[in-house]
């Protein structure tokens, strides 16, 4: 079964909009785990507009499933944060300063040597590494040379095209997942996966280890409730 990691960035966004500690990010993380989530994901950014650096330290103390910290390893503060908290997984994302949300994967050919160096830093600390990639065969093949343990397939294109032609939308992801398996990489996925498109994706991607879902899941929770929503997402992954 593919594991579900809940990205709680949007909970932090809501909290930060009024100050104080409502909703309580730590309690939400505990509840997500209690409701069946198999991991907690956060993506701190330099402006701390959602997840704050202190949140990471607070969450590290209470997460009992798998803690995944996403972010831009070109920021020294991010590197220090990850090393100080030793999550089960770090996901390296090539964000730029001020970016609203992640919108592309690594060019693993151009940045191959840099990724090798950064991945070694985290692996030497005993942290599993995943790198964000587009569903492009050459990028997955090059990712295998960097030393990463996994790739995270950036699924925005799949989600965008799914309503028009789901077979065409998923085709490049199936191809790249097959390549990842051949070269020994684990496979994660995330971005715009939701209750409409998740099941088809999970059923067709070979070796899918984990999906990280935040925005859609939190939006659905406004209607269905957090516990029910997490259960609904888990059922898509059976």
Query: Which positions are catalytic?
Result: 43, 70, 191
- Taking CA 213 as the corner, what is the angle to CA 13 and CA 97, rounded to the nearest 5 degrees? 55
Contact status, residue 152 vs residue 188, Cβ threshold 8 Å: yes
For 136, other C-beta atoms within 10 Å of its C-beta total 18
- Taking alpha carbons only, the member of 213, 200, 159, 206 closest to residue 185 is 206
Contact status, residue 40 vs residue 66, Cβ threshold 8 Å: yes
Residue 135 Cα distances to 14, 124, 150, angstroms: 32, 28, 14
Region of residue 124 (left: phi > 0; alpha: psi -120 to 50; beta: else): alpha
């Amino acid at each position: 079964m593919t594991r579900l990691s809940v990205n709680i960035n949007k909970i932090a966004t809501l909290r930060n909009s009024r100050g104080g500690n409502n909703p309580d990010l730590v309690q939400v993380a505990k509840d997500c785990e209690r409701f069946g989530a198999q991991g907690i994901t956060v993506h701190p950014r330099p402006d701390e507009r959602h997840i704050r650096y202190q949140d990471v330290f607070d969450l590290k103390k209470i997460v009992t499933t798998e803690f995944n910290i996403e972010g831009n390893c070109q920021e020294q503060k991010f590197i220090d944060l990850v090393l100080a908290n030793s999550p089960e997984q770090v996901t390296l994302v090539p964000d730029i300063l001020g970016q609203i949300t992640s919108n592309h994967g690594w060019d693993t050919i151009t940045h191959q040597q840099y990724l090798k160096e950064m991945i070694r830093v985290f692996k030497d600390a005993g942290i599993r590494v995943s790198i964000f990639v587009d569903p492009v065969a050459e990028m997955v093949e090059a990712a295998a040379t960097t030393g990463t343990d996994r790739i995270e397939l950036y699924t925005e294109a799949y989600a965008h095209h799914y309503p028009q032609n789901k077979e065409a939308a998923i085709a490049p992801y199936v191809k790249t997942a097959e390549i990842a398996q051949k070269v020994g990489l684990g496979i994660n996925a995330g971005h715009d996966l939701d209750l409409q498109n998740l099941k088809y994706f999970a059923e067709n991607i070979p070796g899918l280890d984990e999906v990280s879902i935040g925005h859609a899941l939190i939006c659905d929770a406004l209607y269905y409730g957090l516990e029910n929503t997490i259960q609904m997402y888990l059922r898509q992954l059976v």
